[in-house]
């Protein structure tokens, strides 16, 4: 299995690149996020997921290991194939998707093109515990889930997701050990004044 490629970019289009590795050209499918990160580069290093079918071998490339891990989690969900997973990662960045799944924010997940309510529910049900195991660092879980809980609660009250996320980040920079309730109180006062 191919797990990593480093080489020059021969051709670059949204969704795919041709990578020259020692004179061999590899067609690698990529997400919009990876494309944005490599858009101005002449050479690149990609973490690869190799999908083998009866009649084909397809390479999926990612600029970060985090994006590759999320891709592999997504394709573990019943009904999500590699191309659907790549589409999901093109519509939302990994950190936002992690937060949305951990906080069960179905509205945020279903805003991604190609994801309906049922698929959003399936993603949350099947991935919530897996994401905690794969991504959480020791000591970070409580803080991370408090932020996610606050974001979820405030968006449920009708506040704009981006505004809520920005305010929660600003508050967390100065006071990182706040509970979800304290974050919500502080965020409400800031959001109400905007």
The pLDDT tens digits for 149-181 are 777 677 777 777 778 878 888 887 777 677 878
5 neighbors 19 (Cβ within 8 angstroms): yes
Query: What is the reported pLDDT for 18?
Result: 95
**Residues 68-92: what's their mean pLDDT?**
92
Range 137-194 classified under CATH 1.10.8: yes
Give the closest residue to 7 by CA, choosing from 21, 27, 28.
21
CATH topology classification for 4-64: OB fold (Dihydrolipoamide Acetyltransferase, E2P) (2.40.50)
pLDDT band at 145 (very low <50, low <70, confident <90, very high): low
Give the torsion sign (CA, 185, 130, 74, 46): positive
Give the global pTM.
Answer: 0.67
Give the closest residue to 3 by CA, choosing from 55, 60, 41.
60
Helix (H, G, I), strand (E, B) or coil at 10: strand
Please list, in sequence order, all residues whose beta carbon lies within 8 angstroms of the beta carbon of residue 83, skipping any fewer than 6 positions away.
Answer: 29
Give the start-to-end residue ranges of the domains of the chain: 4-64, 137-194
Query: What is the reported pLDDT for 139?
Result: 46
């Amino acid at each position: 299995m191919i797990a990593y490629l480093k080489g020059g970019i021969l051709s670059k289009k949204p969704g795919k690149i041709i990578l020259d590795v020692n004179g061999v050209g590899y067609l690698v499918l990529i997400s919009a996020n990876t494309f944005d990160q490599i858009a101005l580069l002449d050479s690149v290093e990609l973490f690869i997921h190799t999908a083998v079918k009866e009649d084909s071998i397809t390479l999926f490339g990612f600029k970060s290991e985090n994006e590759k891990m999320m891709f592999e989690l997504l394709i573990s969900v019943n009904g999500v194939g590699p191309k659907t997973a790549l589409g999901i990662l093109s519509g939302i960045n990994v950190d936002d998707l992690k937060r949305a799944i951990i906080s069960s924010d179905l509205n945020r997940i279903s805003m991604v093109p190609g994801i309906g309510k049922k698929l959003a529910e399936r993603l949350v049900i099947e991935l919530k515990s897996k994401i905690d195991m794969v991504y959480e660092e020791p000591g970070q879980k409580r803080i991370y889930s408090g932020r996610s809980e606050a974001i979820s609660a405030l968006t449920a009250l009708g506040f704009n997701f981006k505004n809520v996320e920005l305010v929660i980040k600003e508050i967390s920079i100065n006071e990182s050990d706040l509970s979800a309730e304290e974050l919500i109180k502080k965020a409400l006062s800031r959001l109400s004044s905007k």
